[in-house]
Amino acid sequence: MPRAAEFRCRVLHGATPAGERFLAALLDRHRDADPRVEEAARAIVADVRARGDVALAELTRRFDGVRLSPARFAVPRAARRRALAGLPAALRGALERAHTQIAAFHARQMPGDDLYAARPGALLGQRVRAIDAVGLYVPGGRARYPSSVLMNAVPAKIAGVPRIVMVTPPGPAGVVAPEVLAAAEIAGVDEVWRVGGAQAIAALAYGTKTIRAVDKIVGPGNAYVTAAKRIVYGRVGIDGPAGPSEVVVIADRDASPASVAADLIAQAEHDPDALALAFVVGAALAKAVAREVERRAAAAPRRAIVCEALAARGAVVSVASLEEALERAHRFAPEHLVVAVSDPLAVLPQVGAAGSIFLGHDSPVTLGDYFAGPNHVLPTGGAARFTSGLGVWDFVTISSVTLYDRAALAREADDVCAFAAAEGLHAHGEAVRARLGTTAPRKRKDRR
């Protein structure tokens, strides 16, 4: 990859063969699990399942360099309260205001019980029930992600989950970042455990003497965490695998080159594998955006990561029209989609698949990362074609409800028994006839 000082932003014209080949290669960005990572994660999961806390302690020492006895896995509630009390006032205020806004947004998602009179004597509907226990994986170690705590915990709390369990890797000396602990306290997390990696996923799925199992695991992690979540799926639910961060920006001729470039840089600094594309109406604007990307990349504190990401999976693409930009963005179904146009609400009905949509010239993705309210745990790798970001719906189950009286059952018995006979499941028909006091198929009346 080129050194940061030599980086040149790729400018493409979508109609050219070279441009189409590059974009086609990026479209096929779903990655199968690395077999070596999968094998290692499977061994870790099996070890924790077999040896429980002993394996957790050994693996924490091996991978995190921290010696913790099972008695010290838990972060006491008092430590979380001290972390919150010790935060700088500005950061505490920002976390509390973000919590309020995230909670307000997710409260609108909450489904409710509903029964309706479908036909005379027949009530149909649904019952909504919170999952009993969920596990939240929060990346940690040397990193700090209080925003991930809020984004995972708040919808679970809104859903009414009675037991919310957080796991996060211990930092040096076994300490968890105070910002993370403070966010857990603000969000109402019930348990915090300083264990991470694939071993933490195994503990949540199968339980140990110290850590009780949960019913579902959510939250992003590294490749080993993602592999472990795949392995335990079926024993527990998961939210889905997370991949490298992505942004696609759609820009009309009124867009600011500086704003478009800043959005691309902001996603590229996440990860060398991040995807950052802009579909820009007009060649002149595309060149202006590219120049701004180069200037900002050279000055970025994480410029090595930025330049590596943009060199591999970044481009500014000149397109002929806003319609073309929208169509191309839909094909990518990106994690984040910025629609930087002058009349965004008029364009919204034409916007296709995306994890989260940011409308207008003044709605950067950073708002969604931390503060606006929508969740930042989003589908990547094109998965927005068929799934959604994390929400309250991930923390509830919905059971259908059926209540018939005898008259309603009698009216529909012939049709039900006809299905049972056609499928050769005669006991199914008997379950209807037994309630009506009949032992043989009833003759159908001509309803014409």
Q: What is the pTM of this model?
A: 0.91
**pLDDT value for 99:** 98
Least confident of 40-54, 87-101, 171-185: 171-185
H, E, C per residue of the chain: CCCHHHCCCCEEECCCHHHHHHHHHHHCCCCCCCHHHHHHHHHHHHHHHHHCHHHHHHHHHHHHCCCCCHHHCECCHHHHHHHHHCCCHHHHHHHHHHHHHHHHHHHCCCCCCEEEEEECCEEEEEEEEECCEEEEECCCCCCCCHHHHHHHHHHHHHHCCCEEEEECCCCHHHCCCHHHHHHHHHHCCCEEECCCHHHHHHHHHHCCCCCCCCCEEECCCCHHHHHHHHHHECCEEECCCCCCCEEEEEECCCCCHHHHHHHHHHHHCCCCCCEEEEEEECHHHHHHHHHHHHHHHHHCCCHHHHHHHHHHHEEEEEECCHHHHHHHHHHHCCCEEEEECCCHHHHHHHCCCCCEEEECCCCCHHHHHHCCCCCCCCCCCCHHHCCCCCCHHHHEEEEEEEEECHHHHHHHHHHHHHHHHHCCCHHHHHHHHHHHCCCCCCCCCCCC
Active site residue 335: yes
Among 335, 376, 412, 423, which one carries the catalytic annotation?
335
**pLDDT value for 33:** 72
> What kind of fold does domain 4-31+243-373 have according to CATH?
Rossmann fold (3.40.50)
99-125: pLDDT as tens digits: 999 999 999 999 999 999 999 999 999
Active site residue 336: yes
Q: What average pLDDT does the chain have?
A: 93
**pLDDT value for 128:** 97
pLDDT at 274 over 70: yes
Among 270, 336, 361, 376, which one carries the catalytic annotation?
336
Which pLDDT band holds residue 144 (cuts at 50, 70, 90)?
A: confident
Which pLDDT band holds residue 140 (cuts at 50, 70, 90)?
A: confident
Q: What CATH code would you report for 35-238?
A: 3.40.50.1980
189-229: pLDDT as tens digits: 999 999 999 999 999 999 999 999 999 999 988 889 999 99
Which pLDDT band holds residue 3 (cuts at 50, 70, 90)?
A: low
* Range(s) of the chain covered by CATH 3.40.50.1980: 4-31+243-373, 35-238
25-76: pLDDT as tens digits: 999 876 667 899 999 999 999 999 999 999 999 999 999 999 999 999 999 9
pLDDT at 1 over 50: no
391-426: pLDDT as tens digits: 999 999 999 999 999 999 999 999 999 999 999 999
**pLDDT value for 443:** 53
Least confident of 294-298, 351-355, 435-439: 435-439
